[in-house]
Amino acid sequence: SGLPELQMALRAQPPHRLLQPSAADEPPRALCPGGSPAQLRSCRRMSLPPPLQDSAAPLRKSEGWRSWSGRPLEALLPIAFGLRAGRRPRRTGPRTSPLRRRSPSAASSAVEEPSAGAPDGDEAPTDLGAWRRRELRRIAAFAGPALSVALADPLMTLIDTVCVGRAADTLQLAAMGPNTVVFNFVNYGFTFMGIATLSVVAQELAAGSRAGAARALSHAVAIALAAGAVACEAMRLLAPQLVSLAGADAGVAFFGDAVTYLRIRALSAPAMLLTVVLQSSLLAQQESRAPALAVLAASLVNIAGDLFLVCGLGLGAMGAAWATVFSEVVAALFLLTILPGGGRLPLRLRLPQRASDLAPFASIFGPLVVFKVAKNVCYGMIQSVALGLGMVECAAHQSVWVLWTLLCFIPEPLSQAAQALLPERLAAVGSGGGWPQRALRETLVLLLWAALLVGGVLAAVAGLVPAFLPWLLAKDHALWAAMASVAVPAAVSIVLSSLSCPLEGALLARQDVRYMAFCMVFILGALFAGLRSLRAQRHTLGAAGLPLVWWWLVAFFALRLAVAFPRLQWMAGPRQRKGAA
C-alpha cells in the first residue's frame, strides 16, 4: 500500500526540510513536457498523476516537499488513505440559501456526483437503497414547497369567503358565489400556460441550453402579459354576461354587486398569469421554495387587506376583490425580484420575433387546451348528473364534492415533480442506455410510491369524514346517509387521482400532449355515454343514483390510468419526436 512508502519518505527528511518549498514552485518538466509555466501549473492541478516510477526512491532535495520519486506529494495522499486515483471527492463548502441555489446545470450534474452510493456516469450505484433514499428526499424537497402553489387559489378564495362571511351581510357573500365559479374556470383554464412553460424550460435545461431556456422564459412572460391584458378587458366588458352564465339571474338583489366584484378582480389577471409563468419557470429549474414563499407573501397581503378593507372599512365583497388584486401583484413582484439571483435564468422581456419563437409553445398549447377543456367537461357532466338527482342527493353530493376537490389538489406537486425532474433523466437515456435508463425507471417508480402513500392518507380522509364525521360537512341529519353512501367511491377515486398525477406528469415531461388530448377526448365520449344512460334512469334509481355517479368518477380516473401506463412503457426510453405513435 502507499502508507508505508509515505512513512519511509517522511522519515528520510527532517520535518523542517519537508515544510520548505523549493525555489521553483513547479512540477518536474518531464511530467509535463513542452509546457509554459501556466500549463505546468495546470498540469500540477490534474487529478490523474503519472504512474509511480520508483516507490523506494528517497525524497529529492532539489524538488522540495512537493515531489517524492517523481510524484507530487499531494497525489500520494489519496493512495496512502486507500482512495482510488481519479475519483473526485465529494464537494464541500458553505450551504447555499434556498433562494440562491445553484444553476440548473450544476444541480443536474450534482445528481451524478459520487456520494453515498450514487452512480458515476453510466455506472450503477454501489448501494441502490441509499440512492433511492436520496432520490426520494429530492422528490420530497421539491414537492413539499410546491404544494403551496397548487393550493394558492383555493386558499385565496377561502380567506375572502371567511372574511366577507363574518364582516359583511349575506348579500355581499352571495355576490361572491357566481364570481367563484367564473374565476375558478379562468384560473384553471389558464393552467396550460404554466404547464407549457414548465415543460419547454425543463426540456431546454435538460438539453444543456440555458440560453434557449432563458429565451423560452422571456417569450412565456410576454405571452402571459398579453393574455392577461386580453382576459382582463374581456372580463370587464362581459361582466354581466359572465355572472349570468355562472347562474345568477339579472333580477336578483346581489347581481349588481357581483358584476362590480368581477370587474375589480379582473384587474388581477395580468399579475396572476405572470405569477403562474414565473412559478413554473422556477419549478423547471427545480426550485420550489421561492414559489412557496411567493404564495406565503400573497396570502399575508390578502389577509391584511381583508382585515383592513372588509373588516375595518366595511367594504364587503368589493374590499375582498381589491385585497385579491393587491396580493396577486405582490406575488408577481416578489418573483420578479428574486428571479435574477442565485444562478437562475435571466429574465429579459423579449417579444417573439418569428413564428419559430412560438413553435415550442404552440405545439403544446393546442393539445393542452383540448386536454383541459375535455377534462373540465367530464367534471361538469358528473356534477350535472349528480345535481339532477334530487334535493337531498344534490346537497349531499355538494358537501362531499367540496372536500374531495380540495384533497385532489394535494397530489398535484407530484405531477410538477415529474415534469421538472424527469427531463434530465430522459436526456441521459437519449445519450446512452445502462444505468441512466434504470435511473429513469427508478425515479418514476418512486414517484408512484409517493403518490400511493399520499393517496392512501387522502383516501382515509375522503372516506372516513362522510361515513363517520358527516356533521363536519353538513348539519342536516337528512343528508348523512346519502353522504355515507359515496364514502367508498370517494376514497377509491382519490387514490386513482393521486396515481394519475405522476403518470400524466411523466407524459408531459416527454411532451406527449397530443396523445394525452386524444385519450381525454376518448374518455369524454365513454363518460358521456355512461352518464347519459344514468341520467335517463335517475327517477327509478332512488338512493342508489348518487353512489353510481361517484363510481363513474372512479371509472374516469381508471380510464386515465389505463391509457397512461401503456404509453409510458415504464419509461423505457424517450419518446421519438418523429414517427411517434
pLDDT at 398: 76
In sequence order, the 6+-apart residues with CB closer than 8 A to the CB of 305 are 319, 322, 323, 324, 326, 327
pLDDT at 579: 37
The rounded distance, in Å, linking the Cα atoms of 553 and 530 is 11
- Burial of 440 from C-beta contacts in 10 A (0-12 / 13-18 / 19+): buried
pLDDT at 552: 94
In sequence order, the 6+-apart residues with CB closer than 8 A to the CB of 423 are 202, 203, 205, 206, 509
Distance of alpha carbon 155 from the chain centroid: 18
The rounded distance, in Å, linking the Cα atoms of 462 and 489 is 9
Residue 495 in contact with residue 463, Cβ under 8 Å?
no
DSSP 100: S
Residue 142 in contact with residue 417, Cβ under 8 Å?
yes
pLDDT at 136: 86
285-322 as b/e, with b when 16 or more CB fall inside 10 Å?
bbbbbbbbbbbebbbebbbebbeebbeeeebbbbbbbb
pLDDT at 575: 44
Residue 202 in contact with residue 418, Cβ under 8 Å?
no
In this structure, the dihedral spanned by the alpha carbons of residues 156, 158, 164 and 170, taken in order and rounded to 10 degrees, is 140
Looking from the CA of 45 toward its CB, the CA atoms found within 13 Å total 5
- Supply the pTM of this predicted model: 0.64
Q: Which of 533, 560, 571 is nearest to 549 (CA)?
A: 533
In this structure, the dihedral spanned by the alpha carbons of residues 246, 247, 253 and 256, taken in order and rounded to 10 degrees, is 20
**Residue-wise pLDDT tens for the chain (581 aa)?**
455 555 555 555 554 444 444 444 444 444 444 445 545 454 444 444 444 444 444 444 444 433 334 444 334 333 333 334 344 444 444 444 444 444 444 444 333 343 444 444 556 677 788 888 888 888 888 787 777 777 777 777 777 877 887 787 777 877 877 787 788 778 777 877 888 888 888 888 888 888 888 888 888 888 889 989 999 999 999 999 988 887 677 777 888 888 999 999 999 999 999 998 898 888 888 787 888 888 888 889 989 998 999 888 888 889 989 999 999 999 999 988 887 777 778 877 777 777 666 777 777 778 888 898 888 888 888 887 887 787 788 788 878 887 888 888 899 889 988 888 888 787 777 665 577 778 888 888 999 999 999 999 999 999 999 999 988 877 788 888 999 999 999 999 999 999 999 999 999 888 888 899 999 999 999 999 988 888 888 777 777 888 999 999 999 999 999 999 888 764 444 444 433 33
Q: Which of 114, 101, 109, 190 is nearest to 141 (CA)?
A: 101
φ/ψ of residue 68, rounded to 5: -150, 115
Residue 328 in contact with residue 336, Cβ under 8 Å?
no
- Burial of 578 from C-beta contacts in 10 A (0-12 / 13-18 / 19+): exposed
E strand or H helix at 509: helix 487-509
pLDDT at 428: 74
Which CA distances in Å does 97 have to 102, 190, 287? 10, 32, 12
In sequence order, the 6+-apart residues with CB closer than 8 A to the CB of 319 are 305, 306, 308, 309, 310, 313
Residue 491 in contact with residue 484, Cβ under 8 Å?
no
Q: Which of 356, 209, 229 is nearest to 284 (CA)?
A: 209
pLDDT at 83: 38
